[in-house]
Amino acid sequence: MTRKPAVAGKFYPMSADAINKQIKEFEVEVQQKVDCLGIVSPHAGYVYSGGVAGAVYSNINIPDDVIIVGPNHTGLGEMVSLMASGEWEMPNGNVKINANLANDIISSSRYIKDDALGHLHEHSLEVQIPFIQHFKKKFNIVPITIMTLDYELCEDIGAALSAAIKNFNKPVLIVASTDMTHYESHESANVKDKKAIDQILRLDPKGLFETVVDKNISMCGIAPATAMLIACNRLGAREARLVKYMTSGDVSGDYEQVVGYAGMIIK
């Protein structure tokens, strides 16, 4: 099965040339790229969050296989949907799914189901792919969306990801696709998002989950970020780093109703 792009021409440009030109503007020069286990990257329209995503991807070495975990905004499909075979059609070329890694993840989990419907119209994973393609010409993906907010489920997913990656015995990057605070003032978003970011910097998935819930932080990808952090800890994570934080107000000039974006590396 081939998944067609759902948000080309909306969240990012329709043509490969236009995509490459825009992402080039978001590239940052770094002295040395780092190997990492996971990243946090935003998924808004590129005009707003592309600077954060570009900064994160500029800083890392991307392996041949990338697991992308994001929230399910559409309500379609399973509670946890993993598209386990086929490919994703993109303006910059099709990207294949690593079926072996995908099926190993499914077999290691109580909740993850083989399901393409949860990916049909979802943008949170798709917007990551052009950035990955910009920095890595050939790679495979395992796409996963999560619909439910539950810590036990995050533990299950994180354990399944880490077990499958250990069995795979090759480097794999886990991308947690999430935006931060939604539609609050720039000042409020900064205060709230710092609380969540601090928990990631501490490599504390339970602390992250509880902070977001208790402080009412409207971080749409809290489940993907928590599951990614659990997996990274099981894989031996030693540190996390904030690469860049900004809000949509930094682009639009409207600081009354903003969305926050954080780019982070876990290694």
Residue 11 lies in a domain: no
Confidence label for 230 from pLDDT (cuts 50, 70 and 90):
very high
What letter would DSSP give residue 36?
A: -
Residue 203 lies in a domain: yes
**Count of domains in the chain?**
1
Residue 2 lies in a domain: no
What sign does the CA torsion over 200, 129, 57, 238 have? positive
pLDDT (0 to 100) of residue 221: 98
CATH number at residue 195: 3.40.830.10
pLDDT (0 to 100) of residue 266: 99
Residue 6 lies in a domain: no
Q: Per residue in 76-98, pLDDT tens?
A: 999 999 999 999 999 999 999 99
Within 10 A of 252 (CB to CB), how many other CB atoms are there?
12
Residue 3 lies in a domain: no
Indicate the pairing of strand 80-82 with strand 140-146: antiparallel
Q: Mean pLDDT across the stretch 257-263?
A: 98
Range of the domain at 205: 19-26+37-266
Burial pattern 57-95, b for ≥16 Cβ within 10 A else e, equals bbbbebeebbbbbbbbebebbbbbbbbbebbbebbbeeb
Closest CA to 94 of 41, 61, 62, 138: 138
CA distances (Å), origin 54, targets 20, 36, 60, 106, 259: 12, 16, 10, 30, 17
